[in-house]
Amino acid sequence: MRGLHRVIIPLPVLTPRLAALWVGLVTPIPNSLAIPLVEGIMYPVIGDPSRARRLFPDIHPIPYREAVRQAL
């Protein structure tokens, strides 16, 4: 969204734990947070907003791009 150029370097073998340690090394995210985040991307997640709609009926989701635009 910001038009920033990112370099992606594919590696032939990278375990989730090693990837998480790398994330902790090259970003300000601590390893204690990076490890569960990276390990979590190995599993598909399907969101179900029905409970959130019941608990917060006055809050309406906005599209991803609009949320990012507002955050920036």
Instruction: Tell me how many domains the chain contains.
Output: 1
68 is a domain residue: no
Whole-model pTM above 0.75?
no
DSSP-derived letter for residue 4 is -
27 is a domain residue: yes
Question: Which domain range does residue 28 map to?
Answer: 14-43
29 is a domain residue: yes
35 is a domain residue: yes
Model pLDDT, residue 6:
87
Higher pLDDT, 53 or 23: 53
20 is a domain residue: yes
Q: pLDDT tens digit string along 20-48?
A: 788 878 888 888 888 888 888 878 888 88
The dihedral built from the CA positions of residue 69, 2, 35 and 15, taken in this order, carries a sign that is: positive
1 is a domain residue: no
19 within 8 A of 13, measured Cβ to Cβ: no
